[in-house]
Each structure stands twice: as structure tokens, then as C-alpha cells.
Structure 1
């Protein structure tokens, strides 16, 4: 229900081209069509199977990056979006990876690494499978944890961009 309200709110604000104020028209920031706004960020689930690197390039082509998930609220919203768009048993790329340096995970959009912040791996440890350097949501809300997999696997993906 909360996700539906969020989508409705963004849809309504997307219909507005501005609001009146004493100084004239003020633009109401929102996300582009097919994106969902959460605070000052926009998320989009794309149902095309791609490798991690191809998914990152595809997100960049539409103005974003693979999604960084910086809070429990963003995590729950992204899982709900994946469930809604792709089904409850589908995984999707997010932008967390350790391709450059094994066991040093970074976000593709440059967000701070969640060493002390939000993480959604099963247990306190980072993923521990060498050769599995990229991270997916793990089957929507059926399993709330992230999973590290081979970056050449092909799955759908979630993009993030700043609100404009």
C-alpha cells in the first residue's frame, strides 16, 4: 500500500509543471516517466537481461547508474519494485561490486561504501565467494538479502538517478 501511495504521489507531481508562489512559477522536481521517486533519488527497474557491466552502461545511457542502496527504506522499495515489475522470484543487479579489488566493495555511482552503514547481506560478513564480484537483489521480497554472483551472469537491473 505504501508503494502504491508513493507511485501515486510521484505520478501526480509529475503531472504538475510547476506551482505558483509569490515569485512566479516554481518547478516541482520529479523523476522521468517509468522512474519512481524516493526522497531525492529516482529508481527504475529494467526487465532486460544484461551482464553487470552492460547493465551499468545501459543505466548511464538513460541518465543514471546501477542502483546504490543507502538505507533500509530504499532497500524495501527496490525489492517491492523488483517484485512488481519482474515477479517475486527474480533477481536484479544493483551497483555494488568488488571487480577492481577483491573484497573491497564499491558502488558504481560513487556513493560511499556501506562499511558502517546499510548492508543487506546475510550475516555480518561481506560476500565471500571469490570470482563472484557483482551483487544482485535476491529474489525480491521472498529473500531480503543481497547475493554476490558472477558479473557475466545476465539478469535484469535497477538504475538510480538524482531527481531533476
Structure 2
């Protein structure tokens, strides 16, 4: 089951064009069938296990990227999408955060700034370069990019065609 969320939260500016999350945002914007809309963004959970790079490639084919998480609301939606759609709740969930370009510096695959994180307290002890939401505590940890995890894609909502 997929959920539609309409929530107003403070705008976080970023360099890319992104609509303002307000009442006007949802007017005339839609997500493809099967995607969940949160303000001006669309999310879809993929209940298949892939390495980080392969998951990003699938998200690119679907018109987006591995999900960048810009708020606690988006993080909660991703956790809920996983809970509602997974066939195995023991598998972690890739999001689009990684430090494969420069050690110690995190990047989102969609190029948005890293303004929100939800790491557990010992994330610096993790040996990987790619970030996943851990299913046991729903906090973020760095995993090896070659691990097979489920994943969530995100894309911008588009103008509805009537």
C-alpha cells in the first residue's frame, strides 16, 4: 500500500531547481503511477537487492536517483515505504549518500547539499563508503558499496497532464 503525504515544512534552499514545499507546490504536480508524492518529490521503494552503483543506475532509468533525504519527514516516508513494501525486513535500504569521491566528504547522487542526516552514533566506525538505512534501528550507517541492499529512488514531481 502506498501513501500520499501533504505536509508543509520550511523551505531548504539548494542550487538545483526545486519547487517550494507549500500549498501551491502540489497544484498541478504529479508522480508516476506507483510512486509516493511528498511535497514536490516522488519516491518509490524497490524490493530487490542490488549493489549501490546498480541501484543508482536503476533509479536513473526510472528518471531519478537514489533518494536524497532532505528532512525527517522524507526519512520517515522512506522507512514507511520499506515497511509497507518489503518481503524481507532484515535487508538494509540504500539511499543516495556516499563518500566515494572524497574520503570523509559525503555527497548525494543527485547533487543536492547534505543538509540532513540521521546517522547512528558510531557511523565513523563503519568501513563502507555508501550509506544505507539499517532495518534494525532505522538509523543510517555506511556500508560497503558492493553490499546487496534494497533501495529507494526519488525524482521531482512533474506537471500533470489532463
Alpha-carbon separation, structure 1, partners of 2:45 and 2:32: 13
Equivalent position of 2:59 in the other structure: 59
- Alpha-carbon RMSD: 2.1
Unaligned runs of 5+ in 2: 7-26
Alpha-carbon separation, structure 2, partners of 1:105 and 1:5: 30
Q: Deviations over 1:39-89 (max 9, x none)?
A: 000000011211100110110001000000010011111101111111543
- Number of paired residues? 137
Q: TM-score, normalised by structure 2?
A: 0.77
Larger radius of gyration: 1
Q: TM-score, normalised by structure 1?
A: 0.76
Structure with the bigger percentage of helix = 1
Unaligned runs of 5+ in 1: 10-26
8 Å contact from structure 1 (residues 135, 147) kept in 2: yes
Equivalent position of 1:15 in the other structure: none
Equivalent position of 1:153 in the other structure: 147
Alpha-carbon separation, structure 2, partners of 1:163 and 1:78: 16
Structural mapping, 1:9-158, within 5 Å: 28-86=28-86, 87-114=88-115, 118-123=116-121, 127-129=123-125, 131-139=127-135, 142-158=136-152
8 Å contact from structure 1 (residues 52, 151) kept in 2: yes
Q: CA deviation at 1:119?
A: 1.1
Q: CA deviation at 1:130?
A: 6.4
Alpha-carbon separation, structure 2, partners of 1:49 and 1:83: 15
Alpha-carbon separation, structure 1, partners of 2:147 and 2:96: 14
